[in-house]
C-alpha cells in the first residue's frame, strides 16, 4: 500500500472513466479551479448514499465558489450511472476499477479496505484538506466546504495585499 497523501502534498493526477463512459483527466479539472475529490467504498450502500446526498445538497454552493466535486470508487461505469441517476447526483463519479487512483492517494483503512476520505485540492494542485471518517459520511461535504472557504478567504487576503 502506498503512503497516505497529506495536506501540503502535490495531488497525484490520473485519468478515469466517469458515469457516462467519458475519460476525465484530474489535472485538467484542477487547472479550472479547486477540486473536492472524495473516495468512497461502494455505490448504493447506506453510508455512501448518505455521503453522496450531502455532496448533492451542497453541490451548487461548491459550484458558486468555483469548485468541482468528484467521487471515486471501484464500481464500474454502469453502476455509477445507475447510482447517479437514481440519486440525482449532479457531479462526476469516476470508476477506479483497479484501485489505481485509490492506491495513489493511499485511501485505504487500517484493515486494507477502501476508506472514506475527502481531499480539497487547490488550483495549483496542492492538497489543502484531508478528511477521513468511515463512520461520519455526512461530515465530508461540510468539512470540504469549510476548507474551501478558508482557501478562498486566504486567496482574497493575498490578492488584497498585492494590490
> Which domains does the chain carry?
15-162 (3.40.30.10)
Task: Output the pLDDT for position 119.
Answer: 98
User: Splitting the chain (163 residues) into consecutive groups of 10 residues, what average pLDDT does each group show?
Assistant: 84 98 98 97 97 98 98 98 98 97 94 94 97 95 97 78 64
Q: Is the distance from CB of 127 to CB of 148 less than 8 angstroms?
A: no
Q: Is the distance from CB of 48 to CB of 16 less than 8 angstroms?
A: no
Task: Name the residues annotated as catalytic.
Answer: 48
Task: Output the pLDDT for position 1.
Answer: 46
- Record the cell numbers describing residue 82, joined without a space: 445507475
Q: How far is CA 36 from CA 64, 72, 155, 163, in A?
A: 13, 11, 17, 29
Task: Output the pLDDT for position 72.
Answer: 98
Amino acid at each position: 500500500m502506498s503512503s497516505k497523501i497529506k495536506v501540503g502534498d502535490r495531488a497525484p493526477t490520473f485519468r478515469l472513466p466517469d458515469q457516462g463512459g467519458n475519460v476525465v483527466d484530474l489535472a485538467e479539472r484542477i487547472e479550472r479551479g479547486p477540486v473536492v475529490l472524495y473516495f468512497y467504498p461502494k455505490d448504493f450502500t447506506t453510508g455512501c448514499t448518505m455521503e453522496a446526498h450531502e455532496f448533492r445538497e451542497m453541490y451548487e454552493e461548491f459550484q458558486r465558489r468555483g469548485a468541482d466535486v468528484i467521487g471515486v470508487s471501484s464500481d464500474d461505469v454502469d453502476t455509477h450511472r445507475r447510482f447517479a441517476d437514481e440519486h440525482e447526483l449532479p457531479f462526476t463519479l469516476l470508476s477506479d476499477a483497479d484501485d489505481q487512483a485509490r492506491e495513489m492517494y493511499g485511501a485505504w483503512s487500517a484493515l486494507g479496505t477502501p476508506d472514506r476520505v475527502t481531499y480539497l485540492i487547490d488550483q495549483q494542485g496542492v492538497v489543502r484538506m484531508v478528511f477521513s471518517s468511515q463512520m461520519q459520511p455526512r461530515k465530508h461535504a461540510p468539512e470540504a466546504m469549510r476548507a474551501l472557504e478558508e482557501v478562498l478567504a486566504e486567496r482574497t487576503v493575498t490578492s488584497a495585499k498585492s494590490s
